[in-house]
Structure 1
Amino acid sequence: MELTILSGGANLPLGEALARALGRPLGRVHLERFPDGEQYVEIQEDVRGRNVCLVQPTVPPVGENLLELLLMADACWRAGAARLMAVVPYFGYARQDRRPNPGAALGGKLVVELLERGRFERMVAVHLHTPSLEGCFGMPLEHLDPAHLLAEAARPHAGPGAVVVSPDLGAVKLAERYARQLGLPLAIVHKSRTSGSEVSVRGLVGEVEGLRPIIVDDMISTAGTIAATAETVLKAGCAPDITVVTTHALLVGPAVERLHQVPIRRLISTDSVPLTRALPFQHQVVSLAPLLADAICRVTSERR
């Protein structure tokens, strides 16, 4: 069955790169916003009887990009598409996988249920913030981890005298994978969150004095955690050559200024989130297109 690749407006460059990796043209989608703010979506390809892959990370503004994905899915279904697959390189609301208090909404589960109403047969996601969210999916989920690609991108900065640093206990398993692949020691920062964008550091386990830190995390939002970690290892005497590696570089609010003030030397991230501004430090981007293309090929070949 023929495969059609369509991309929403959240990260068109990644959609184009994925289409190239699959050796197919990117299908035409007309996106428009009416004066009252309503979104209009029109699929300008013949998708009848075809497998359709919709590429749309739910990056900020999360609600609008999520709705655009659902509108594209509805348009494809009404146009006769045989199967729909959602490729969501960054999954918004993944941090809302549990209720911190009885009055809170379970945002992650609700977003999954909305996607299931979009009639997707399968979903491809990259490095969900909380793996437990996988249990919320009623549809098959291809959960991809680009850590091995990012670790190789960091290898030129990981020679003798480097150390992998986990910015909190939640990232320890991820940091251990980087440390094993790069053959480096591991240090762990203990932090507590005081608000949505502020953290406080309680301690540091491991040796960083005189070493070049490679701080790893799955995502950077306002960079409060990364900035606090960088300040901690600098106070502990690390070398002033800090590399930060992350899958999802959201860099919202004061993130760029915080990272610039620490300062970090370089950032390595994937292209799950489009870069919308110039950065005052080195930024190396690792494309997800080959990883996504391989997953899509495996899934579609299983159906033949």
Structure 2
Amino acid sequence: MKIIPGPSSTELGRKIAEILGVETVSVAHKKFPDSESYIRLEGEVKGEEIVIVQSTGPPQDTNLIQLFILADAAKDLGAKRVIAIVPYLAYARQDKRFLPGEAISIQTIGKLLKTSGIDELITVNVHEREVLEKFEIPAKSISAIELLADYFKSKGLERAFALAPDEGAAEFAIEASKVLGGDYGWLHKERDRYTGEVRTEEKNLDVSGKDAIIFDDIISTGGTTANAVKILRKQGARRVFAACVHPLMIGNAKERILQAGAEEIVGTDSVPSNVTVVSLAPLLAKALTEKIKG
């Protein structure tokens, strides 16, 4: 097995390779003046099982195209099998047709993954696991919530209240509470299908005088998380923290959440950002080790 750390996940790919003790194949890459991507593999892949590590956060389209080119190049150069580790899978939230004529974009991405030569996909906390069942290649999502909860536990936040900002993320609060040993709960939110505006309904939570941590898969513009922070503060939480697997942190998301009353925002290196603290490398190395052992 050899690992190709893609342009968007170079450090993460190298960390995984170091844990596993396997060779990496470096990638030479650049943008042409017209913004097209140039890719060259700087090592031998013929006859090898290749693992490409390439997250597809912003700029999503560029990172996806680079992933497709890397996979196709590896197969064209003789790789016997290509596994793609894509911690953040772009377009996964475009999984339903809400309005007439809308494209279900994640279905298109699934087809392109196969066409480019990828034999198997491993992703992390995909927005809806059901979307992977429609892919024509084996695809699985693993959870990094325990890693995030372990981080807070190591910082002395045992027994903290774990909150999910909506029902769809309830499983994250439950998973985190098993590590932290405290209570958990979730809120209800509604999003306007046309404007994208989020409204969060307040509910009574047993957080007065307690530390609380909000767990979610993605922080994008920060609106959902900021709303949850405000509710926790209003109900008397002692300290409030925010944690997510994929810190997209669009625009002023960080400031928005901190201004709402959060002490700290913690993300993983799924999408490198100014809140990245926890590395996915041990989790992904474990997934590959388990795969090798069968």
Query: What's the TM-score, normalizing by structure 2?
Result: 0.93
1:129 aligns to what SS in structure 2?
Answer: coil
Displacement of 1:200 in angstroms is: 1.6
- Equivalent residue, structure 2, for 1:245: 243
- 209-218 or 191-200, which deviates more: 191-200
Unpaired segments ≥5 residues, structure 2: none
1:242 aligns to what SS in structure 2?
Answer: strand
1:204 aligns to what SS in structure 2?
Answer: coil
- Equivalent residue, structure 2, for 1:232: 231
Which of 260, 265, 268 aligns to 2:266? It is 268
Paired residue type of 1:173: E
CA distance in structure 1 between the aligned counterparts of 2:78 and 2:26, rounded to whole angstroms: 16
Displacement of 1:9 in angstroms is: 1.0
2:202 aligns to what SS in structure 1?
Answer: strand
Summarize deviations over 1:147-184 as a string: whole Å, max 9, x none. Answer: 22221112134335x32112111111221221233221
Displacement of 1:145 in angstroms is: 1.0
Paired residue type of 2:167: L
Residues 144-163 of structure 1: matches in 2 within 5 Å?
144-155=142-153, 156-160=155-159, 162-163=160-161
Change (3 A) 1:288 1:196: farther
Displacement of 1:197 in angstroms is: 5.6
2:227 aligns to what SS in structure 1?
Answer: helix
Which of 93, 117, 120 aligns to 1:119? It is 117
CA distance in structure 1 between the aligned counterparts of 2:264 and 2:228, rounded to whole angstroms: 15
Residues 190-229 of structure 1: matches in 2 within 5 Å?
190-194=188-192, 198-229=197-228
Summarize deviations over 1:79-110 as a string: whole Å, max 9, x none. Answer: 11111111101111111111112211101111
Query: What's the TM-score, normalizing by structure 1?
Result: 0.91
Displacement of 1:129 in angstroms is: 0.9
- Equivalent residue, structure 2, for 1:103: 101
CA distance in structure 2 between the aligned counterparts of 1:196 and 1:61, rounded to whole angstroms: 22
CA distance in structure 1 between the aligned counterparts of 2:13 and 2:77, rounded to whole angstroms: 21
CA distance in structure 2 between the aligned counterparts of 1:143 and 1:192, rounded to whole angstroms: 25
Which of 44, 47, 61 aligns to 2:45? It is 47
CA distance in structure 2 between the aligned counterparts of 1:101 and 1:269, rounded to whole angstroms: 32
Contact 2:57 2:63 in 1 (8 A): yes
Paired residue type of 1:290: P
CA distance in structure 1 between the aligned counterparts of 2:223 and 2:45, rounded to whole angstroms: 44
1:78 correspondence with 2:76:
yes
Displacement of 1:205 in angstroms is: 3.7
CA distance in structure 2 between the aligned counterparts of 1:296 and 1:149, rounded to whole angstroms: 17
Paired residue type of 2:56: T
- Equivalent residue, structure 1, for 2:282: 290
Displacement of 1:25 in angstroms is: 3.4
CA distance in structure 2 between the aligned counterparts of 1:196 and 1:66, rounded to whole angstroms: 26
Q: Over aligned residues, Cα RMSD in angstroms?
A: 1.7
CA distance in structure 2 between the aligned counterparts of 1:164 and 1:196, rounded to whole angstroms: 29
Change (3 A) 1:189 1:126: same
Contact 1:6 1:26 in 2 (8 A): yes
Number of residue equivalences: 292
Paired residue type of 1:133: V
Contact 1:153 1:268 in 2 (8 A): no
CA distance in structure 2 between the aligned counterparts of 1:34 and 1:178, rounded to whole angstroms: 44
Displacement of 1:187 in angstroms is: 3.0
Summarize deviations over 1:4-34 as a string: whole Å, max 9, x none. Answer: 1112211211111111111123212111211
CA distance in structure 2 between the aligned counterparts of 1:299 and 1:180, rounded to whole angstroms: 26
CA distance in structure 1 between the aligned counterparts of 2:41 and 2:219, rounded to whole angstroms: 33
1:10 correspondence with 2:18:
no
Q: Percent identity?
A: 34
- Equivalent residue, structure 2, for 1:94: 92
Paired residue type of 1:236: Q
Paired residue type of 1:265: E
Contact 1:188 1:205 in 2 (8 A): no
CA distance in structure 2 between the aligned counterparts of 1:184 and 1:300, rounded to whole angstroms: 36
